[in-house]
Structure 1
């Protein structure tokens, strides 16, 4: 049986090795304006306030992990004392890869691992649309354990420290996705948390070339067609056939990037009866004909 979450993570190729240890004391505030880079934060001690454009402010406490797959405007700050709105702090490196915020003379009341994740996939933008815009995992024992191991590793100077930290961050990434899915209003994580919807998602991932219809997927989920359609759309945030198209295009782009199959072969491998039908669907969904897309990727 295919594992949809494993497939998405495997295609994304996340690298969370760009982490630094940040300590804070007193009042501090860091506004960030990004270009859609994935941001993550694992709070080791204390509590911080996270403000993301268009969302209610969020308190992130020790043991919590936050991931913003495509970050733009957001601000992190101390909670006590609360900083003034006009404050903009500059992190100061006090030790190799260890930065300080706020009062440099006071004992830190906040420690966190923060950084920017990179996705190796050239199709990351399409895959990220399957994930929630913000992931906040909290109160999970496994996450707390992983974070504690990361803290010990970040403070030491043992051999292969950076390699171990990178692997820990990747596991944190997967564990955060896995543990927080049911708490989101929609997305693949929410869908996988619903047994009926998850059955349909797994069928799509296991057999993307099958001539699926809503009725077929509804039968697999043991539901009526209308009830399944509404439940799927509410959980995943898109209709079943839209999700099927989305996933087929992800697979098609991967095959085109590898450049080891013709357009006609790829069409058959992602569920299309002819290269012309596939080309029209691909161009409409991606914005570029498949042959031109392959050339642009250097395939």
Structure 2
């Protein structure tokens, strides 16, 4: 059976950049402005406060995990932050460990934090299917996964990059599905948590070439057309046909990048009856014709310096709210 969440995460091609263990002595505050870099943090002891640009501060307690698929401006502080927006400078302790806060104050929090990269050139398109951030409470396996990522990233063992990419795929999937309850904010994981909607999402992924209509998808979900449309839009954050278009474009970009056929062949593989119809849709959605996109990706694959996989423009195609459980 097709697993839509796994498909999206796999296409993202997550990779580890770094992970560090931070010892905090209140009060302290650090700020980062990392254009488009995915950020994760898990609190091991004590707590901290995370403020993401455009959102209210989140208090993280022991065992809490937060994932920000596209971090632009993030401030992390002790639960009682220092006055006057004062920032602190982390002190390296060696072996990927840092201390932050006044040296004379006792350590009252420990957390692991890190950045990963999305290697896919289609990251912006795929990230638009994810929430702006994920906050999970009471899932100890996430801390274990982050610890495994940290340990693996410190060692230069054979197949290190393969192991790290698989660990990060599992970490992302576990974080998203842990936050997929009915009270979570809109996103793919929340849609899949609804059994009726999951049936419709899965058939879109299983048969992207089919000329789906809202009525047909509603039938797959065993709901009326109006109920399905409203329920899907509320849970996933976008209308059903917009979601289908986003997924088809993600598949098309992946096929074009890997030179998996002519434009007409790729058009058929993603559900378009003609190359011209596909080209119009692709250009409107991506901002350039498929032939131009394919040429640029071919050049980038030969000359990696043209493109950096560490950051990307992940401006959401549609506003998605935070996902919290």
Is the pair's TM-score, using the shorter chain for normalization, greater than 0.5? yes
Which ranges in structure 1 are unaligned for 5 or more consecutive residues? none
User: Cα deviations across residues 237-263 of structure 1 (Å, max 9, x unaligned)?
Assistant: 111111111100000000000113000
Secondary structure of 2:34's counterpart equals: strand
User: Cα deviations across residues 209-258 of structure 1 (Å, max 9, x unaligned)?
Assistant: 01111111000000111110111111111111111111000000000001
Shift in Å, 1:61: 1.6
- The residue aligned with 1:3 is 3
Number of residues paired by the alignment?
A: 296
- The residue aligned with 1:49 is 49
Structure 1 pair 272–115 and aligned structure 2 pair: CA distance change class (3 A)? same
- The residue aligned with 2:249 is 249
Alignment of 1:1-299 (within 5 A): 1-80=1-80, 82-146=81-145, 153=151, 160=157, 163=160, 168-182=167-181, 183-298=183-298
Higher RCO (Cα < 8 Å, 6 or more apart)? 2
Find the aligned partners of 1:150 and 1:44 in 2 and give their Cα distance.
Answer: 15
Scaled by the length of structure 2, the TM-score of the pair is: 0.85
Shift in Å, 1:170: 4.2
Structure 1 range deviating more: 87-96 or 240-249:
87-96
Find the aligned partners of 2:142 and 2:47 in 1 and give their Cα distance.
Answer: 16
Is contact 1:46–1:62 with CA below 8 Å preserved after alignment? yes
User: Cα deviations across residues 115-174 of structure 1 (Å, max 9, x unaligned)?
Assistant: 1110011100010000000111111243354456668x48xx888499477754543222
Structure 1 pair 262–290 and aligned structure 2 pair: CA distance change class (3 A)? same
Which ranges in structure 2 are unaligned for 5 or more consecutive residues? 300-325
Scaled by the length of structure 1, the TM-score of the pair is: 0.92
Find the aligned partners of 1:237 and 1:158 in 2 and give their Cα distance.
Answer: 40
Find the aligned partners of 2:281 and 2:159 in 1 and give their Cα distance.
Answer: 43
User: Cα deviations across residues 29-73 of structure 1 (Å, max 9, x unaligned)?
Assistant: 012223121111121111000111221211112212111111112
Is contact 1:16–1:170 with CA below 8 Å preserved after alignment? no
Is contact 2:13–2:165 with CA below 8 Å preserved after alignment? no
